[in-house]
Amino acid sequence: MFEDELNSLVEEQSDSHVADSICGGYINDLVKSMLDFNEPAFEKIFAAATTRFGMYDTMVNVVYPFLNKVGVLWNISRTSPIQEHFASCIIKRKLMSATDGLMPPSKKNKKFLLFLPPDEWHEVGLLFANYIIRSKGYETIYLGQNVPIENVEKVIPAVHPKYVLLFYLNMKPVGEVEQQIMKLSKVDEKITMFVAGNPDLFPANKHKLKNIIFLTGASSLLNFL
């Protein structure tokens, strides 16, 4: 196949996972406004989706497929990293605003500590997890991006979380993810740890690891809560 034909086929495949035509319309409109750096249009489309579906379903059925499509477009040279960064910044701002609008935590005895480990910068998933957890009344302590494991080891005894949640997305040397999560799990063996992100990075023996739950998506976190 010629390169243009192959790229078109890849783009078509990225659209095959969209929930329905309405979501597909929102996704295509978000892509267009992102390519044009049109922030008012992007915010208007995002607001329309959240008004129709709510924040959770908008993230699962519109925003995540949108980000997936952006990744595909980037790989076939139809968009640039700066356009993805532009869109991600708006989405992160919307998630922060939605989280701020939630009721104060009511389950303070079940505290979550959330962070991204070293060399992890993609914060949308962690912010969405924070929103989901807070929407169910749990207290969260949010540490953000690229947090050294040694720092988290010091935070745990100070705040006494019941749960720790972290994401892995970037490729790592074999065994690094398992080494980090095992190191954290030994700080307080009563803590339940949730690990999310790229399943290719999860340890091969993940089912044997005590008090460590590997999340397969937003729904698995929601079901636990």
Mean pLDDT of the chain: 91
Cα separation of 189 and 213, whole Å? 14
> Model confidence at 13, in pLDDT bands (50, 70, 90)?
low
Q: What local confidence, expressed as pLDDT, does residue 117 receive? A: 96
Cα separation of 169 and 197, whole Å? 5
Nearest to 33 by CA among 81, 90, 97: 90
Nearest to 188 by CA among 151, 157, 150: 157
> Model confidence at 134, in pLDDT bands (50, 70, 90)?
very high
Q: What local confidence, expressed as pLDDT, does residue 96 receive? A: 97
Domains of the chain: 3-100 (1.10.1240.10), 107-224 (3.40.50.280)
The secondary element (H helix, E strand) that includes residue 108 is strand 107-115
Whole-model pTM? 0.89
Cα separation of 206 and 101, whole Å? 36
